[in-house]
Structure formats: C-alpha cells, structure tokens
Structure 1
Amino acid sequence: MDRAQIVHENFLTRVANRDLPKGAPPRPGLTAPEAVSLFRSQVLSRALDRTSRAMQKAGQGFYTIGSSGHEGMAAVAHALRPTDIAFLHYRDAAFQIARAEQVPGQQIAWDMLLSFACSREDPTSGGRHKVLGSKALMIPPQTSTIASHLPKAVGAAYSLGAARRHDPEHRQLPEDGIAMCSFGDASANHSTAQGAINTAGWTSVQSIPLPLLFVCEDNGIGISVKTPKGWIQASMEHRPGIRYFQANGLDIFETFAVAQQAADYVRTRRKPAFLHLKTVRLYGHAGADVPTTYLSRAEVEADEANDPLLHSVRLLDQAGALSPGQAMKIYEQTCARIDRIAAQAATRPHLATAAEVSASLIPPKRPCKPTNGPSAEARAAAFGSDLRAMDDPQPMARLITWALTDLMLEHGEIVCMGEDVGRKGGVYGVTQKLQSRFGPDRVIDTLLDEQSILGLAIGMAHNGFVPIPEIQFLAYLHNAEDQIRGEAATLPFFSNGQFTNPMVVRIAGLGYQKGFGGHFHNDNSLAVLRDIPGVIIACPSTGADAARMLRECVRLAREEQRVVVFLEPIALYPMRDLHEGQDGAWMTRYPAPGERIALGEVGVHGDGKDLAIVTYCNGHYLSKQALPELQAAGLNTRIIDLRWLAPLPEQALLEATKGCKHVLIVDECRRTGSQSEALMTLFAEQTDLPTARVVAEDCFIATGPAYAAPLPSREGIVTAALTLTGAKK
C-alpha cells in the first residue's frame, strides 16, 4: 500500500475514533464559517493530490507533485487579498483553492483537474504543464521552480511603490497591494533565494518601499536531504530590513492570525516580512518517490500522525464550528466529487501538434496609447547642449545614450536599472546623465547581483513598466541566465499568453577590447541566448543602427510584450575610425527620433555579385576594413549586416544574397555554438551557393597583446574570401 493510501485511511480511522493529535486551542480571528471554508479548501487540495496520483497510474495525468502536509497555506491565502500578486511554491494548491473562494465565478476543481490532465482546455497553461496559476486569481504560473521566482517577486513588490510615483499605462496591481512569494526550506538555501532575500533587505534598509511577504514552508527536508533543526529561524530571524514571523502551519487558526499580522505589517509599513511556517511533507517528494527509502518508517509515520487535516478537525471541533462527523462527511463527499470531475477532465482534448504547443511562445500584442515622440521643449530641456552636437557624426556609445534619453522622454513607463547605471553613468558612460535627467526612480542603481537586476525587471514588467535592465558584461549574464530562460521567456508559454514580462535587456559584450579584462570582459559566446525560444536578440554594428534598433526593441517590448536582448559591442562603443587614424569613417549622425529599423530587416551595403559577406557587429567592421583589398583582387562584394541574431532573418538573408556567386560568413563568436552554424545550414538547405565561414576559435579570450588572436581578423577575411572565390591578390 502506498503512503497516500495510508494517509487516507489514517484520516478516516482516526476521525471516526476521534483520535486527533494534541495541540493548542484555536486562536481568535477566524469566524466559524471562515474556518469551515478553509477546511473545505484543505480537503479539496488533499483530494486533488490523491486523484492526480490515480490519474497518473491510469495514464490520464502527468507529473504529480503534491501539496499534502502544506494545506495550512489556505489560511495564508485568506489573510491576503485576491489582488495581491502571489508567486507560489509548487506545494500551494490549498492557497490557490482558498483564493478562488475569494473571487466569484471560479471552478477551481475543474480547472485544476484540466491542468492535471494536460488538456488544452486548461485555463492557465492551455495544456502545456501541470501548473498552479490563474489570471483571475493574480497567480502567475510557476513550474517546478527552485526559488527562481523570488527575484521577480522582489521586482513586483518594488513596482508597487514605483507605480505610485510613475503610474504605467498598463498597470496590473492596485496601489495598496502587496506581493507574496512562497518556497520550501530547501529552496531557501539556493543562491537565487538568498540573493532575493538579501536584495529585499538591502532595499528596505534604505527606506525604499518594498511591500513583499516571503513565506517559507518548512517541512524539514528537500527531497531526501534534511534541513538542520532550527536552520531557517537561525538564518532568517535577524535579517536587516526584514521582519520575521513564525507560525505552526498545521494550525489554520494560528497560521491565519500570524499571516494576517505579517500581511498587515507589509501593507501598512511597505516593508518586507518573512513568514516561517512549520509544516510536514506527506507522500514523499513527487511522483514515485518513496520516502521510506531514505527516512526511517518511524520518521515517516510521525509526520503522517501530524496530518494538518487531523489538526483542523480537532480545531474546528474545539471552536464549535464543525463536528468530527461533519468533517468526515465533507471529506468523503469531496473525494467522491473529485473522482467524478476527474473522469470528465480526463476525456477533454490535448494539444496535438507542434504549432499548437508553440502558439503561446509569442505573447499577444496589447493596445498602447499612441505617442508622437518627445516634444521639442522636452528634448531641449533634457539634452541641453547635446542637441547641437547631434548635427555631427558621433561614436556609438553617445548615440545609444541619446536614444535612451529620447525613449525615456517619450515613454514614462521605461525604467532603466543595473549596477553603476546611475551616478556613474555606466562603466563605459553609456547611461551618462540619464539619472540626472530622469531621477533615481527611473534610473536605478542596483546592488551587484545579476539575478536581482533581471528579477527587478521581470517583476516591474508584471506591473506594466517597460524595464531596460543592464548586464554590465556579457560574461556576467551566466550568473543569472535562468532569469531569462526559466522565468521571463517561459511566462507567456506557461500562461497561454495571459501573463507577460516584456523588457529590453541591454548587455555590453563581445570581443576586441584591447588590453582589458580577458574573457570576463571580452565574452564572445551567445549560445546561451540563441537557444531560448521566443527571445529576440538585436546586435547593432554602427551608432545610427544602434539608435534605430533600440527604438524598435522598445516598441517590441511595449506593444508586442516581447523579451528582447540588445547586445552592444564594447569595442565599437568608442570607435571613430575605419581605415586610418582620424578618418572618422565609423562615426554616424544621430537619426531623427522617429526612425527605426524593423525586426528582421538586414543591412545591405553594396551590390556586388561576386561575393556576399554575411556578418554582424565587429565582423561588419572588419569586413568593411577588408573591402579595399577584396576590390583590388577584383571581387565585387556586398556586405550584409545581420543586425537581428534571433529569430534569424532567413528570408531577408536569402533575398539579400540573391544574384551572388559566393557567400562568406564572418562570425566573431566561437566555431561551436555560434550563429555561423545556423547560417551555414540555411545556405546549404536553401541555396546551392558555395559557402565558407570565418569564425573565432573554441577558446576563451586572453588579456593583453593576444586579445584578438582567437578572433576573426581583416587578414583572415581576405584570405578566406580569396580561397572561396579562387581570386588572386
């Protein structure tokens, strides 16, 4: 007999015999009807756990991870408002069920069973995953997260204060709302959780509003690894800036009373709190996990004897709200009802094709108020003397600064954030003057934690802002890439397009910096970004293109709710010259504020038919340098600047290379995992053109004189072109 059946029979036997666990009497705060309603939510959560296991055994359900032992979260839901955004632990079915009782018109049992069955009629994910989540309940869906949702909860809480000062057009959350996130005691040890909790305290001690309730559900174990006794309390009780609360999560009366205190503290003080709930875990971790393989039978049975439903029966009886016999009747009727509903849910249709599964990767467009660009008066006030300099060619870094200024003047919901972006103006000066122009509310100097920077952006996007977070160097993204891969990019997918977190992530990167930083500051690997479905990657090579493309990126985020990465080439930030010193040939004039380069529009330079060089960024610069030698060898050449690395503009590239005899791909990223692999495949599958590539070696970049040794060069491009075409120097 499995543990789920044992727990079920224990409940029936012990309630029938009035053999209930000892505990404190019910604390005041819950009325009798409220307490009974919470018990019904707990019982429904338990019945759904049992049914999900039965469905899986019958091949009608998939991926079981239960909430049994954590049903006290129903009381936490009751202490909050249904408009308080909640990022939930995967054991929080009782929270979602209790919240559904606060919102009229919900069919929570039917909805959750559709999710268990992975039916395409599941109102949350459309059959893509068994998830907790609901747009109507303001619960963004989470999959099997290990604390990766905590940074965005911090961001959502921050957005509540920010929205009071700068109300975004698409605000989702009420001004007096709070944010809540829940997680297990094992997840609390994850670096992501620790970073988010640290960020919350760091923000709070500076008296910046951050109405966030952390809820740690402490069942004492993470799969098979025990949490040391007292660890959560010892590590969280005295965190600066965060108020600590503790409750017995097996007692719905105590849990509600303490959760209400914690929620009131967060709501009135606009400061974060940490609610530590003691719970038990029943049935094991998930699926076929058998807890007796790593715990003694006595330990497992001790937790089962502390079943929170048994505690609730005792408390309800002591409160005069419900007799054990009445509680038993609710339990039996609920189990029977769920079995009937599950039989229907199992017959509902599933997703069947790749197109159906992928349909929600791209979020829906949203209506936005039309804008006509910043006014002349606003531009004059913001730019000052810079306006006169716009008539002259400038390097890329300065044009990006001006583009950001114009965009922030036009769209009040844009918020920039990152390490050193404010007072210092960025490591390379790209965000200079922005904080003085728009204030620290819109140009936020963050702490040094990339997960928190991206989490802040994701959370603010949940509340209608258009964040532009900056990752200082491409190599630093790897500390936080899951915030894009596992959180930002998957949200529309797992919510069937109902929740979105649009943003433009600015990242300074790629190679060719002279004498600075080695591979941590010259990182030429984009593979981690290229394979994330739904993410757009923009990579300009000239200042004018950077300004036009950045405007398109903001439009894509604001209107089409896309997650966009805007990759800025560090080596080209200050670049002025192309062929000779002082020629100024790589500088460009600032394009008028209304000019954009559309997603997928490539740049075609020249109309040569002998050779098409397909490249981007520094490769574009080097190809332009190589052009005189190629022309001298008689090669009539055109240079095609990709601009957009994902999705790859395949049709535009095929059109741009029409009539050419050869294609040379110049890719500054590594041979393995670079854009060149997809480009070679494209031309091999779609054309019969002779094609070759010049790429970086599969090697990190060194500091010092050898900084460019593994990278494509002007000389290498010339040699490869001559070899490919058979031309002679």
Structure 2
Amino acid sequence: MMANMAKALNMALREEMERDPRVVILGEDVGKKGGVFLITEGLYEKFGPERVIDTPLNEGGIIGFALGMALAGLKPVAEIQFADFFWLGADELINHVAKIRYRSGGNFKAPLVVRMPYGAGVKSGLYHSQSPEAYLVHTPGLVVVAPSTPYNAKGLLKAAIRSDDPVVFLEPKALYRAPREEVPEEDYVVPLGKARIARGGDDVTLVTYGAMLPRCLEAAEKAKASVEVVDLQTLNPMDYETVIKSVSKTGRLVVVHDAPKTGGLGAEVAAIVAEKALHALTAPVVRVAGPDVPQAPVAHDDVYVPTVERILRAIDKVMAYS
C-alpha cells in the first residue's frame, strides 16, 4: 500500500503487536490520543490499556519502566515525545539500559526500543527540534537507528523490536508526512547495522541519514558531477564497509547531517575514512551540518538545517580540489 512514514511506523507497531504478545507500548499520550504525532493511533482501541500504556510526564520513569518490563520478559516500545526530552531519562538509558548486559556478564539483557522524534524542519521551536544522535552513538551498548523513507522505517522498526539489544529509534519528524511510497503490507525487516546505496554515482560520495536524505538526493540530481548517496540507516553500529567501498570508488566524500557540526556524526565518518581509505581520497572531506549554535527559533527553522544549495556548494568544492 502507499504510505507515508507515520503510517509505515504505525503498521510496524501493529504488526509486531499482533505477531508477538510480549510487545507493549508505553509513553505520554500514546493511548487514546495516539501520540503527539499520531504514530500509535488506533493501537489502544485494538490492543487495550494493558498493552498500550499512557504514562505520567516522566521520561526517566518511561525508560525505567521499559527496562523493568524488558528484564521481566516483555518487549517494550517506549515513546519519548520529542528527542530533546531524552535527557530527563538519560541516567536510565545511558547508565542502566545500555550497560545491563555488560554489567551482568550477559545474564540480563534489555530488548527494548525507545522511539524519539528528532530534528528540525517542522517549526517546533528551540526545545523540540534538536538532533542528539552524537550523544547516543557515543554510548556503548545502544543501537541507534535513523530511517529516511517509509519503506525502511517500517522494516527497521520491526527489526528493532525483534532485536535482543536496546535500540534508540530516531524518527525524522520532518519526514513523517512527506511524500508516500509503496510499503508492503506483508512481513519484512530491514537489517540493523547495514547502510544502503540510495543513489549510485562515480565522482562524489554523499553520506547522510534520516531527514537529510531527500535533500541529498535532490542535490545529487542537480549536481554537475555523478554523486553516490549512502544512507547510513543505522548510526551505531555504523556500516563502515559500505562507506569505505563507496569512497574508494569516488575518491571524494561529503557528509551531511542537521545536528551541529562540532563533534557530530560527520566527524566520525570522516575519521574512519581517514583511517581506512586515506589513500583513496583525492580531496579533503567536507562536512555540511547545522551551525554550532542552539537550535534556531521557529522563524529561522528553515535556515538552520543544511539546504540543497549548501550541499551543492560542498559537492562543487570537492570536485574543484586539485
């Protein structure tokens, strides 16, 4: 069926709850309201309050409850209304969820998913538009995922729910109701830890994920050079092999993300390429990212994130280097 990302995520949740009675959903307003972005719409009516649980406004409690449920044998999917709020549950997520398997010598595990709408682009303001992926990727023990299309959003979320590892599922809210695509109604998963080539090319590699994929594809279409676009999909563990293979072919790398530049995921991609494929580079790596300032207020939301024009300038820059 044709679906946008919001619908695809709802399909994934519904199918996994039908497939596995251990799957439960919890979070603020996820029940009768269906969540702030309506991702859980209709699930309360189908599965009832014992499996779709409205919680108090307490992110630490939500993640802590999810951990307890997971340790007891359930498969909880916790929703944090906006990724900006995960800090209120950071102790539970970083110090307990991420470490429980290591801390217990493998005796316990935390098979849970924490869904977080992230990023700018919908004019939701200073405290509802941040992209915290670099903080999360820096935490050993967490799998971090960022889908970019309805098809891979459904497949990645289903894979995340079935995983025995804790998964932070970063949903680009700017793409929730972006153009639709065909999403199979039958069961399928998109493997965690694997990047994909979203567009083939020979001259420049563009590495991106989540909300920036459509802009990178548009820039690649408009560029004078032949541009290959790599969609990371899973940010941790990152599929470095696909990135290295692409850069080894093109010799040029541009990394695009909407989080601030300093310490962002682009720096990690650049470092890995420098370590493993420096001989292949014919130009310095260029990062196109958000500025090193707090998230822009609503009136300037559109200029905070990388634009197609900025990406095109980066492509021209690496092509012009000699």
**TM-score class normalised by the smaller sequence:** over 0.9
Is 1:647 the equivalent of 2:237?
yes
Q: 1:676 aligned to 266, 269, 272, which one? A: 266
For 1:704, the aligned partner's letter is: V
In structure 2, the residue matched to 1:54 is: none
Q: Is the 8 A contact 1:525 1:674 kept in 2?
A: no
Higher relative strand content? 2
Alignment of 1:54-133 (within 5 A): none
Is 1:693 the equivalent of 2:287?
yes
Alignment of 1:65-464 (within 5 A): 390=1, 393-464=2-73
Q: Quote how far apart the aligned CAs of 1:685 are.
A: 1.1
In structure 1, the residue matched to 2:297 is: 703
| Structure 1 stretches of at least 4 aligned residues deviating more than 6 Å after TM superposition | none
Larger radius of gyration: 1
Q: Quote how far apart the aligned CAs of 1:649 are.
A: 1.4
> 2:306, 2:16 → 1: CA distance?
35
Q: Quote how far apart the aligned CAs of 1:683 are.
A: 1.0
Partner SS for 1:624:
helix
Partner SS for 2:255:
strand
> 1:699, 1:435 → 2: CA distance?
40
Q: Quote how far apart the aligned CAs of 1:619 are.
A: 1.5
Q: Quote how far apart the aligned CAs of 1:686 are.
A: 1.0
Q: 1:528 aligned to 135, 140, 143, which one? A: 135
Q: Deviations over 1:360-381 (max 9, x none)?
A: xxxxxxxxxxxxxxxxxxxxxx
Q: Is the 8 A contact 1:614 1:664 kept in 2?
A: yes
Q: Is the 8 A contact 1:406 1:593 kept in 2?
A: no
In structure 2, the residue matched to 1:497 is: 106
Q: 2:191 aligned to 582, 598, 619, which one? A: 598
Q: Deviations over 1:701-720 (max 9, x none)?
A: 22333113232111100011
* 438 and 590 in structure 1: CA distance in 2 versus 1, 3 angstrom threshold: same
Q: 1:471 aligned to 52, 66, 80, which one? A: 80
Q: Quote how far apart the aligned CAs of 1:396 are.
A: 0.6
> 2:7, 2:185 → 1: CA distance?
14
For 1:695, the aligned partner's letter is: A
Partner SS for 1:706:
helix
Partner SS for 2:49:
coil
* Structure 2: tracts of 5 or more residues without a match: none
Q: Quote how far apart the aligned CAs of 1:652 are.
A: 2.6
Is 1:550 the equivalent of 2:157?
yes
How many percent identity over aligned positions?
A: 31
* 532 and 712 in structure 1: CA distance in 2 versus 1, 3 angstrom threshold: same
For 1:461, the aligned partner's letter is: A
In structure 2, the residue matched to 1:570 is: 173
> 1:459, 1:594 → 2: CA distance?
28
Q: 2:207 aligned to 606, 610, 614, which one? A: 614
**Matched pairs, number:** 317
> 2:31, 2:48 → 1: CA distance?
9
> 2:132, 2:294 → 1: CA distance?
9
Q: Deviations over 1:155-194 (max 9, x none)?
A: xxxxxxxxxxxxxxxxxxxxxxxxxxxxxxxxxxxxxxxx
* Structure 1: tracts of 5 or more residues without a match: 1-389, 577-586
Partner SS for 1:594:
coil
Is 1:718 the equivalent of 2:307?
no
Q: Deviations over 1:110-158 (max 9, x none)?
A: xxxxxxxxxxxxxxxxxxxxxxxxxxxxxxxxxxxxxxxxxxxxxxxxx
Q: Deviations over 1:235-290 (max 9, x none)?
A: xxxxxxxxxxxxxxxxxxxxxxxxxxxxxxxxxxxxxxxxxxxxxxxxxxxxxxxx
Q: Quote how far apart the aligned CAs of 1:725 are.
A: 0.6
Q: Deviations over 1:362-421 (max 9, x none)?
A: xxxxxxxxxxxxxxxxxxxxxxxxxxxx2xx22110111011101110011000000010
For 1:619, the aligned partner's letter is: M
Partner SS for 2:66:
helix
